[in-house]
Amino acid sequence: MSESAELERAYRRLVAFYPRSFRRENEEEIVTVLLATAPDGQRRPGIAESIDLIRGAARMRMSLSRTPHTVHNAVRLMYLGAVAELGVLIVLWLTEGSIRAAVAHQYPMLTAAQMGQLNTVFTVDLAVGAAVVPLWLLMAWWNSRGSQVARLAAIVCFAFCTTGMITDAVTGSPQFAPAAFTAAGVVWLIGLAAIVNLLRKQSVAYYQRQAAL
């Protein structure tokens, strides 16, 4: 093996410490520069340049794994969303009587059986709300780990939340359950803020880097 080929192989072994995403784009160029700056007849990398490359790789790995503030914000908002969702459940439970009264007042012709169906609606609402609280917590934990799938899952969950809000709005929730609808609106706004943070440039770059590490 020629001296330069031996040196090049040694440089490539050092460059291998860098993250894969960086090597994919820069390995050929960095090896070119290393070879260009090497004195004639050099067979293996010097100690100082080996340390420099390993230090550079360590720094890059550390900076790549550093979570940007936009992702921190999104995760905090998701924890807040879990608390707010719990608030919606409490409001719904506390205002159940006034919601029934509002429905009865609006539709005086409803039979007892039809009014009884409201129980099913309340049960479903409370069950869905109770399931959404741990979902918020799961999304916060999962996204804090930098998972691309978690980010997509959060976006899908927010789409469902938005659909739910629109459905509630057109089926009379603002009229019969203004307090619960307002509380749900607060939850939706928290979700929107979390998603906006997840879609910020720094967040997108972070999730891409994490996937490439």
Partner 1 sequence: MQEATFLILTALADGTQHGYGIISEVAKISGNRVRLRAGTLYTALDRLRSDGLIDVDREEVVDNRLRRYYRLTPTGTTRLAAEAERLQANATAALTRLNPSLGMI
Binding site for partner 1 (CB under 8 A): 22, 26, 28-30, 32-37, 48-49, 52-57, 59-60, 63, 205
Tell me the CA distances in angstroms from 154 to 59, 101, 149, 197, one per residue in order.
Answer: 30, 36, 9, 11
What is the rounded end-to-end Cα distance, in angstroms, of the chain? Answer: 32
Q: In this complex, which beta carbon is closest to partner 1, that of residue 57 or of residue 157?
A: 57
Q: In this complex, which beta carbon is closest to partner 1, that of residue 48 or of residue 113?
A: 48
CA–CA separation, 76 and 153 (whole Å): 17
Q: In this complex, which beta carbon is closest to partner 1, that of residue 22 or of residue 188?
A: 22
Give ∠ CA 41-42-43 in degrees, rounded to 5: 110
Q: In this complex, which beta carbon is closest to partner 1, that of residue 32 or of residue 163?
A: 32
Please report how close the Cβ of residue 206 comes to partner 1 at its closest, in angstroms: 10
> How many Cβ atoms sit within 10 Å of the Cβ of residue 208?
13
CA–CA separation, 131 and 209 (whole Å): 32
Please report how close the Cβ of residue 205 comes to partner 1 at its closest, in angstroms: 7
Please report how close the Cβ of residue 59 comes to partner 1 at its closest, in angstroms: 6
Please report how close the Cβ of residue 204 comes to partner 1 at its closest, in angstroms: 12
E-strand stretches of 21-134: none
The structure tokens listed for 167 are: 């459905």
The structure tokens listed for 8 are: 């090049």
Please report how close the Cβ of residue 203 comes to partner 1 at its closest, in angstroms: 13
Residue 67 carries which DSSP code?
Answer: P
Q: In this complex, which beta carbon is closest to partner 1, that of residue 57 or of residue 135?
A: 57
DSSP SS3 for 23 = helix
Please report how close the Cβ of residue 14 comes to partner 1 at its closest, in angstroms: 8
CA–CA separation, 152 and 96 (whole Å): 35
Q: In this complex, which beta carbon is closest to partner 1, that of residue 29 or of residue 40?
A: 29
Do 130 and 89 form a contact (C-beta atoms < 8 A)? yes
